[in-house]
């Protein structure tokens, strides 16, 4: 045993995407903030978000319409109060992003006046998506990173993994509070302690639990797993959104083809060029993602095809290149000219609609612990997230959480002695290859057994494998060196278990959860809550 390196701050933010950086900027004028990032500060799901952010800027649109579209896409499981709160605060939060310098695309109207260009995506009844070409996330992330780097009260800890939250229970106290976190310094390969009055989980989702995903490597469910181990409830973990259109090409794995392309007229075809979406939904290519993903999955399984195709060649070349420059360049780099030929696409795990249960302020079941963005369950997405509501949720709840934290910032930090990290956990191991194997095995059977179409038998088979992996991880975690792969595997297996148990408890098919054993819908659906044993 030895004393860990300790850091002190008002607010520890775990995660450096749109949610974490927005929260940091909203707090930093009045608080000392630490932002923890597993890689470089700019790396994360926000950077790769293509489509845009939904808000009502068109006089022909309305907040009521945004609410109704979201409720419909959520397939009966959205919390209406949350949806209304988000839609009502959308425009002001987007205006805040604009003030920060995010360069959303503009166009000139008939009177020669500049206005924001609004696009449309699946599930939306109006054009209400603000975007920066087809790289909105990159524009948001780059702008926010520039702002946080300039603020003297924001301290960036890059290449740090959060290991576990430090709770009152761990400290032997009779309280239900979060007091900080153990973190692993990847450069020095030592575990450190960060003491904080408040901790915010902004660590994103868990799509890395699947073999094929549009997400970057950091999306390993860390915040969800840590919150669960600390005693927080989770909800709706069975609803994993598979983006319908990820580029199918060996030289460009997991490259996302934005839904905005279908919003601008692209259509899905079989290999012979015939369209098929009209056979599944009257909205055709503009149906919600769960409908489109299942349709593609069905077509691929029916025909034995490796992919389907997304065709936008009927649009003018200049239009395609102007609206989708990133996709055009990426596809061209692997020999596909999207102005002349259709794009081969397959579904890929994309978004975790469930997460850590929070209230309107982003507060979890644990005092002083908040969760914002994809890591959280607010009730906004229900059984299926509507396109371009995700970055919106990050910004809206970063603002509400910041307001709540600032209102309680005067509460003094208690004098606490934190247990030192047990150095026996960082002894060398020659079995890293086994960890890597288990990591790949988990993602493979989750894809095969807990994917777009499920069955009770497949789910039970997955759960048996998870139990074996949990025991192996316990042995390694207790005896061998902490590593990025081990920490992520530990969290991914925990999240996989939550997904499978949630899926087994929902005996119906709804939204993103489709099971062949219960193909019908229940009349009065409720969210799936899981509670840990503290």
- Express each pLDDT in 335-354 by its tens digit: 999 999 999 999 999 999 99
Evaluate if residue 136 carries a pLDDT over 50: yes
pLDDT number for residue 260 = 85
Cα distances from 407 to residues 11, 66, 175, in angstroms, run: 13, 30, 21
**469 shares a domain with 341:** no
Complete DSSP assignment for 177-197? BEEEEEEEETTTTEEEEEEEE
The tokens describing 345, both together, are 């696409």
Q: Which residues contact 352 (CB under 8 A, 6 or more apart)?
A: 205, 206, 207, 221, 224, 237, 239, 240, 241, 374, 375
Give per-residue pLDDT as tens, 482-533: 788 889 999 999 999 999 999 999 999 999 999 999 999 999 899 999 999 7
Distance CA 459, CA 513 (A): 12
Question: Please, what is the angle between helix 484-505 and helix 222-230, to 10°?
Answer: 70
**149 shares a domain with 64:** yes
**194 shares a domain with 129:** yes
Distance CA 511, CA 526 (A): 13
Distance CA 191, CA 182 (A): 7
Distance CA 158, CA 14 (A): 11
**452 shares a domain with 333:** no
Q: Where among 306, 325, 348 does a domain terminate?
A: 348
The pairs formed by 506-510 with CB atoms below 8 angstroms and a separation of 24 or more are: 506/238, 510/75, 510/76, 510/77, 510/383
- pLDDT mean over 428-451: 82
pLDDT mean across residues, the chain: 91
pLDDT number for residue 179 = 95
pLDDT number for residue 129 = 94
**231 shares a domain with 169:** yes
**370 shares a domain with 329:** no
pLDDT number for residue 174 = 82
CATH number of the domain where residue 468 is located: 1.20.58.100
Beta strands in 152-298 (DSSP E): 154-158, 160-167, 178-185, 190-201, 234-235, 240-247, 267-269
**102 shares a domain with 172:** yes
Nearest to 236 by CA among 526, 532, 533: 526
Higher per-residue confidence, 477 vs 308: 308
Residue 413 lies in a domain: no
Q: Residue 274's pLDDT band (boundaries 50, 70, 90)?
A: very high
Furthest-apart CA atoms within the chain: distance in Å: 72
Q: What's the gap between Cα 4 and its chain centre?
A: 31
Give per-residue pLDDT as tens, 182-232: 999 999 988 899 999 999 999 999 999 998 888 888 899 999 999 999 999
Active site members: 289
Return the top range by mean pLDDT from 126-140, 357-371, 476-490: 357-371
Residue 414 lies in a domain: no
Q: Where among 320, 348, 376 does a domain terminate?
A: 348
Q: Residue 159's pLDDT band (boundaries 50, 70, 90)?
A: very high
Give per-residue pLDDT as tens, 228-268: 999 999 999 999 999 899 999 988 877 889 888 998 999 99
Phi-psi region of 254 (alpha: psi -120 to 50; beta: other; left: phi over 0): left
Q: Residue 393's pLDDT band (boundaries 50, 70, 90)?
A: very high
Residue 419 lies in a domain: no
Residue 213 lies in a domain: yes
Cα distances from 424 to residues 27, 92, 427, 432, in angstroms, run: 37, 50, 6, 17
> Domain tally for the chain?
3
Per the CB < 8 A criterion, the answer to whether 131 and 387 are in contact is no
**271 shares a domain with 325:** yes
Nearest to 164 by CA among 146, 178, 153: 178
Evaluate if residue 176 carries a pLDDT over 80: yes
Evaluate if residue 397 carries a pLDDT over 60: yes
Give per-residue pLDDT as tens, 18-73: 999 999 999 999 999 999 999 888 888 888 887 899 999 999 999 999 999 999 99
Distance CA 106, CA 104 (A): 6
State percent of the chain over pLDDT 70: 96
Q: Residue 4's pLDDT band (boundaries 50, 70, 90)?
A: low
Residue 99 lies in a domain: yes
Residue 473 lies in a domain: yes
Q: How far apart are the first and last CA of the chain?
A: 26
**28 shares a domain with 130:** yes
Determine how many CB atoms are found less than 10 A away from the CB of residue 527: 18
**378 shares a domain with 343:** no
Please tell me the pTM assigned to this model: 0.90
**390 shares a domain with 320:** no
**369 shares a domain with 337:** no
Strands 178-185 and 114-116: unpaired
Q: What's the gap between Cα 348 and its chain centre?
A: 13
What residue numbers bound the domain in which 492 lies?
424-528
Distance CA 121, CA 127 (A): 8
Evaluate if residue 316 carries a pLDDT over 80: yes
Evaluate if residue 431 carries a pLDDT over 70: no
Per the CB < 8 A criterion, the answer to whether 392 and 53 are in contact is yes
State percent of the chain over pLDDT 90: 72
Evaluate if residue 2 carries a pLDDT over 50: no
């Amino acid at each position: 045993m030895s004393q860990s390196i300790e850091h002190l701050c008002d607010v520890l933010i775990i995660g450096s995407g749109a949610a974490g950086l927005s929260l940091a900027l909203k707090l930093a004028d009045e608080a000392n903030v630490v932002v923890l990032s597993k890689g470089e500060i700019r790396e994360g799901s926000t950077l790769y978000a293509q489509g845009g952010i939904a808000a009502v800027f068109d006089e022909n649109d309305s907040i009521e319409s945004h609410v109704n579209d979201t409720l419909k896409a959520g397939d009966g499981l959205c919390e209406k109060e949350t949806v209304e709160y988000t839609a009502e605060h959308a425009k002001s939060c987007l205006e805040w992003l604009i003030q920060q310098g995010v360069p959303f695309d503009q166009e000139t109207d008939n009177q020669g006046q500049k206005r924001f260009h609004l696009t449309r995506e699946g599930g939306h009844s109006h054009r209400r998506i603000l975007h920066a070409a087809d790289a909105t996330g990159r524009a948001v992330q780059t702008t926010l990173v520039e702002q946080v780097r300039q603020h003297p009260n924001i301290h960036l800890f890059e290449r740090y993994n959060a290991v576990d939250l430090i709770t009152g229970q761990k400290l032997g106290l009779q309280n239900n509070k979060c007091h900080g976190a153990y973190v692993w310094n990847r450069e020095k390969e030592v575990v450190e302690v960060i003491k904080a009055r408040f901790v915010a989980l902004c660590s994103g989702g868990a799509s890395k639990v699947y073999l094929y995903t549009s997400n970057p490597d950091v999306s390993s469910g860390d915040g969800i797993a840590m919150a669960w181990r600390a005693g927080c409830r989770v909800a709706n973990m069975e609803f994993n959104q598979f983006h319908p259109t990820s580029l199918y090409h060996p030289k460009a794995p997991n490259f996302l083809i934005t839904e905005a392309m279908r919003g601008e007229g692209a259509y899905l075809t079989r290999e012979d060029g015939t369209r098929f979406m009209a056979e599944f939904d009257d909205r055709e290519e503009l149906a919600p993602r769960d409908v489109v993903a299942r349709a593609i999955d069905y077509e691929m399984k029916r025909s034995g095809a490796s992919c389907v195709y997304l065709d936008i060649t009927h649009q003018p070349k200049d239009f395609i290149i102007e609206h989708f420059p990133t996709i055009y360049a990426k596809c061209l780099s692997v020999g596909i000219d999207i102005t002349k030929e259709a794009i081969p696409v397959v579904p890929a795990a994309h978004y975790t609609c469930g997460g850590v249960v929070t209230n309107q302020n982003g507060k979890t079941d644990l005092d002083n612990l908040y969760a914002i963005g994809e890591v959280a369950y607010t009730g906004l997405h229900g059984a299926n997230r509507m396109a371009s509501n995700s970055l919106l949720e990050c910004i809206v709840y970063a603002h509400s959480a910041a307001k709540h934290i600032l209102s309680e910032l005067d509460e003094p930090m208690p004098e606490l002695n934190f247990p030192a990290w047990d150095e026996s956990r960082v002894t060398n191991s020659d079995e890293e290859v086994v960890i890597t194997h288990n990591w790949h095995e988990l993602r493979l059977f989750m894809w095969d057994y807990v994917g777009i179409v499920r069955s009770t038998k497949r789910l039970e088979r997955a759960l048996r494998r998870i139990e074996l992996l949990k025991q192996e991880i316990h042995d390694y975690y207790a005896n061998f060196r902490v590593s990025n792969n081990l920490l992520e595997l530990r969290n991914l297996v925990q999240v996989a278990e939550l997904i499978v148990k949630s899926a087994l408890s929902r005996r119906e098919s709804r939204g993103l959860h489709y099971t062949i054993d219960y193909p019908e819908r229940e009349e009065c659906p409720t969210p799936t809550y899981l509670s840990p044993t503290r």
